[in-house]
Amino acid sequence: MELPPPSPTSFLAAALAAALFLVAVLRGRPARKYNLPPGPRPWPVIGNLDLIGPLPHHSARDLSARHGPLMSLRLGSFHAVVASSPDMARFLLRTRDLAFVDRPRTAAGRYTTYNCSGLFHSPYGAYWRQGRKLWQAELFNARRLASLEHVRGEEVRSMLSDLRAAAAAAGGGRAAAVALREHLFMVNLNVISRMVLGRKYIVDGAGSPFTPEEFRWLIDEHFFLNGVLNIGDVIPWLSCMDPQGYVKRMKRSAKMFDRFLEHVLDEHNERRRREGEEFVARDMVDVLLELADDPNLEVPIHRNGVKGFTLDLIGGGTDTSAVTVEWAMSELLRNSEVLAKATEELDRVIGRDRLVAEEDIPNLPYMEAVVKETMRLHPVAPLLTPRLCRKDVSVGGYDVPAGTRVLINIWAIGRDPAVWEAPMEFRPERFGGGGADVKGHDFELLPFGSGRRMCPGIGLGLKMVHMILANLLHAFAWRLPDGVAAEELSMEETFGLTVPRKVPLEAVAEPKLPAHLYALS
């Protein structure tokens, strides 16, 4: 049987495929002048993508165990290095921080943050430097955080009231298991909404385009799409095809967020117009709009810039603290002795006649140790956010070329037996007497990163985690549901921009304080 001769179209397709393959192979070869760190041998086109599993920080840890604390990977068309020791993290984030301060360009930055108009995805340059200064000086300074302490206290009390009601309703008047995740998400969302937007848009309604459920989905989608490995980012000639459908989802979520943010900015501008010279900034959006009007700024902040910064504030402040507290509660429920010590400290320092206030936190050293130990084992961004090498750098005798993607595996560092004694055990006592801090000075513990790209919201994040966790433990006696043994509690993760529990935590909450402390004033 004779086959028909190939058509001109098939010849063209074959030639194009061959050309693309050849280009990919040639681009996949590192320049011979570089002495790259050791790493697995890459395949043409895909590089080492076949070695990256659904939990990339686990895959990177396992590969680094074979190839060393500074490891080369080929992610599609791009060279990457992974650091997995405190010494390597210190060199990249402090010693040569300026060389590694840039961000790689991604579809998420383009489509979900107004073409990198926020701080998170913004490339290094005058705009980013100005934005960083504004965040530190205007949005997260100590005076502003202190002035909004009452907001955090009110919303934590509201969460405790809701938890008490939910537990009673589920148990027919008796304590029953409650799903913590939604309560943790809502308290953080409400705090951020009031601090950033001026009120609880999602809860209070008043023209908000979303229900709380829709907004929760939108936040989850935003975090997922900003943390996922988009093939088009690492194999650029595939980006136009959007093979995973992620870009389509990015455009959809961006359009939805823009509808919400336009509504917020219109309301704020209307109040500014209405109040005229008597206008006083009441929230962070007001501050951002005032800054955007400043003619003395080195780089103008346009409307998309205000929306980009606002989106960073909402996203960064909502999910991260909630994920950390859920992991902390999971570890405490698996370790009854640690839970008993934490609650004993609260009873001794606070008593049973009031809730925990922010001013109490420095007097709760064991609670601080519990938070540190949680962040060691369960950092919300286990690979930090990828950085981009701006120029050729020599690291530990190896070359890191300009354009290299840089990942710091703080999850692996936190579980390294060469760094920590019994690293898989939850032992807050290891931080007795202070120990390592989480503020970017101790490179064995970097939940917020370090250097110029360190998380600018660390102050607020720590306040929220401590306040929520301390009050949960103080207001309720906690245990696992009947039939669930501590050693059987699932601790599986799911990967995105943050790494939450795969299965939401459920636990029995029994109120233990006087009833009036749960009441809303």
Say if CB 181 and CB 328 are below 8 A apart: no
Measured CA to CA, the distance from residue 38 to residue 30 in angstroms comes to: 12
**Displacement of CA 46 from its chain's centroid (Å):** 27
477 bridge partner residues: 510
Closest C-alpha among 24, 220, 227 to residue 106: 227
Burial of 307 (0-12, 13-18, 19+ CB in 10 A): buried
3-state DSSP assignment of residue 309: helix
CA dist 428 and 375 (Å) reads: 11
Alpha carbon distance 266, 271 (integer Å): 9
- Kindly give, in sequence order, each residue whose CB lies less than 8 Å from that of residue 408, ignoring residues fewer than 6 positions away: 82, 83, 84, 88, 89, 92, 93, 383, 384, 446, 449
Residue 229, both tokens: 């490995």
Instruction: Tell me the C-alpha distance between 83 and 387, whole Å.
Output: 12
How far is residue 308 CA from its own chain's centroid?
16
3-state secondary structure of 499: coil
- Give the C-alpha separation, 287 to 453, whole Å: 22
**Residue 394 to residue 400: CA distance in whole angstroms:** 6
Residue 389 annotated as part of some ligand binding site: no
- Numbered residues of the known binding site for heme: 455
- Numbered residues of the known binding site: 455
